[in-house]
Amino acid sequence: MDFGCTLEDEAFRDEVREWLAGRVPWAGDRRGWERTLGAAGWIGLGWREEGYGNRTVGLGRQVVWAEEYARSRAPTRSGHIGENLLAPTLIAHGSAEQKARFLPPVAAGDELWCQGYSEPGAGSDLAGIRTEAVREGDTYRITGQKIWTSLAHEADWCFVLARTEAGSRRHRGLSFLLVPMDQPGRIDVRPIRQLTGTSEFNEVFFDGAHARVEHLVGGEGNGWQVAMSLLGFERGVSTLAQQIGFAQELAQVVEVAVATGAADDPVVRDLLVRQWAELRTMRWNALRTLGSSADRGAPSVAKLLWGRWHQRLGELAVRVRGAAASVGPADWTAEAPYELDALQHLFLFSRADTIYGGSDEIQRTIIAERVLGLPREAKG
């Protein structure tokens, strides 16, 4: 059994497996999959409140759901930003009206969200935001640019961190606004083509976009506190689900190593065993810290561990294939996008693991300053 799981939780595991087995692999569209999950009550299990079309379960069952979802190779979620980031933030900081307006569509899988945080020149340095929001009557007029905005091309709404106090600096004068994405001429979404040939990330340009005053969360000027609270929700049971995916990738790399004969090399065997051992260590560390807020450095330590681990796995995936790693599954032409197989995608995409979600440098600074109490880094 897993952390916190009772016999009843294990019965719940059987329920989850049975439901997923009848629907995975999913042949429909991503939005349709979200609505399927919502109709069955699988969205919002970890929310502290219910009554928005969701049901809540204990931590053990949240772990069961996350692990079985990953183990079944179910589709990548397009609603996870709304479910796992926005919703807990609204429950903690939003008004009753905001929760009543926005949580039911998230629970139903009807409205998708994206996160408007990073900016050019202020990626991991969140306090360096320059996007401005000026109040005009009952709305805020937003001007600025966000970058690396995941799934913005699919999203209905974006929660935007913007500067509402003219002349303010760093974490002061920021506000957390809920902005509708359907504003032609005022919001421009431009996909960013990555090394993998895909475009999950986007640039988003706000040119006088409007956000209603009642969609300001936590009060004007309190955006930093709300944003920091949201970042704390990025970790949790999802970390364990991520590790299930890592284990599946590692198993594939091992299978290829055996098939190509690379596993006969004692150096490669040592690297494979080390990857397995480190993954087990990360799992037990995640279980140890799950549900606890006492260790302020735990999220940063976890990010440092899995980011570099995943990069090393991508490097191993190329190494065990040898020269064949440079050959794609289909002919590449100038007219058609190039195709990658799973291990090639793993290698290329994992190059970003030590950057997104807070770069390694930022995580080390957090540990140094907030946990070890070292002198703070000078900031302009």
Q: Tell me which residues are annotated as active site.
A: 234
CA distance 65 to 13: 7
CB contact at 8 A, 42 and 53: no
Residue 251, CB half-sphere, CA atoms under 13 Å: how many? 7
Single-letter residue type at 65 = W
Give me the sign of the Cα torsion angle 224, 225, 229, 232.
Answer: positive
Q: Do residues 360 and 313 lie in contact, with contact meaning Cβ atoms separated by under 8 Å?
A: no
CA distance 96 to 93: 10
CA 164-165-170 angle, to 5 degrees, is: 95
Q: Helix (H, G, I), strand (E, B), or coil: what is residue 348?
A: helix
Number of CB atoms found within 10 A of residue 142's CB: 25
Chain centre distance of CA 230 = 12
